[in-house]
Amino acid sequence: MRIALGVTGGVAAYKAAELVRRLQQEKFDVEVVMTRGAEEFLRPLTFAALTGHKVITAMFAAAPGEPANVESAIEHIAVAQRIDLLLVAPATAGVLAKLAAGIADDFLTTLYLATKAPVVVAPAMNINMWEHPATRENLGRLRARGVRVVDPDEGYLACGMTGAGRLASHEAILEAVRGALNFVRDLAGEVVLVTAGPTCEDIDPVRYLTNRSSGRMGYAVAEAAAARGASVILVSGPTALPTPAGVELVPVRSAEQMARAVGKHVDRATIVVMAAAVADYRPVHKHAQKMKRGAPDLSLQLEMTPDILAAVAAEKGRRIVVGFAAETERLAEHARRKLAAKPVDLIVANDVSHHGAGFDVDTNVVTLFPRDGREKALPALSKREVAERVLDEALRLKSGARNGS
């Protein structure tokens, strides 16, 4: 899950760097938005190094005196749509007042109005500012809108006074974040092995056989499993996707390499989700040098690649094994045939010719075919939402197996 962390201009801003680390330990992907006041206490480079993401410090990215480009001018909309939660910590009295009044005069306050994600604020300020009627009124207005407020701790303050106003502990802030997200760590203690992306089967040093898989579905499963508390091993073919936070990445290229990597790690796994689009065939002969254009016709002799799903399912023991089936026709027939041929617990099937499903899109339309026959067709959902449903089903099947049903 992705969190936008808004850092405002108070002395407690330095604590936000450690907060980023704690959020990352909880498997959150964090991007930071800093107000101009925050930059007086910390440099953006600190957060860029910690998060691996660009730090947003201004509404318009162009240099002074230059016109802003369209991309930077609407970036707050893009951020608003991709985050799962907005956390403002520390939140100064001034920023709380702007949020309560709906004043959008910088990136952070504009992001607050633009996002529909849950919002958590952790105030930090002088005790007199904290107790001022205006601050109390602003907090009441925010709470009435559903904003979660993490009350500050009491103690010695930077101004020399003692009382309420210190930024709440990281654990208190994390508890509020989990609550705002209805966070369920129901995969804590599980080890989830996920395969993702395409494989590439080399013909010569220049050419290879592959498919259109972007890896998004498998990466979404890995990200969702990590967010739910699992230890995740992601065996991935070549993709352009960033590794989800808290996930162990094992990069591979060919089906043979993927089979070896899965074989190496599968004994650790309690749940296996085979979302990779593994090439079914590879050239019998790989040419050492680039094949030159010559004869008008060219024939390639192909052989089958290892059936990784069948191998894992045959030795699955007590682990739950999930396979994917990308089809272009007779979806249910082919999915049930695959379920009958391989002792997997669940087949997730999608028709890649269907609008909004399959390759190169952020959504998917799947049908779940569990071995117990309780089939379920899902509507068009984001791949992250599909991932959550797949993990829900895997847990249901695991619970049923444990109870002997």
Q: Which residues are catalytic?
A: 159
Residues sharing a CB contact under 8 Å with residue 302, sequence separation 6 or more, in sequence order: 281, 282, 283, 284
> C-alpha angle 278/282/286, rounded to 5°?
135
Look at the block and give the residue holding tokens 């087949």.
Answer: 347
- Bridge partners of 250, per DSSP, are 235
Residue 206 CB contacts under 8 Å (≥ 6 apart), including other chains: 290
The sign of the dihedral angle between the CA atoms of 269, 388, 324, 211 is: negative
Q: Alpha-carbon distance 390 to 128, whole Å? A: 51
Backbone angles phi, psi at 124, to 5 degrees: -150, 125
- Decide: 38 and 58 in contact? Cβ < 8 Å: no
Q: How far, in Å, CA of 18 to CA of 360, rounded?
A: 36
* CB 324 within 8 Å of CB 275: yes
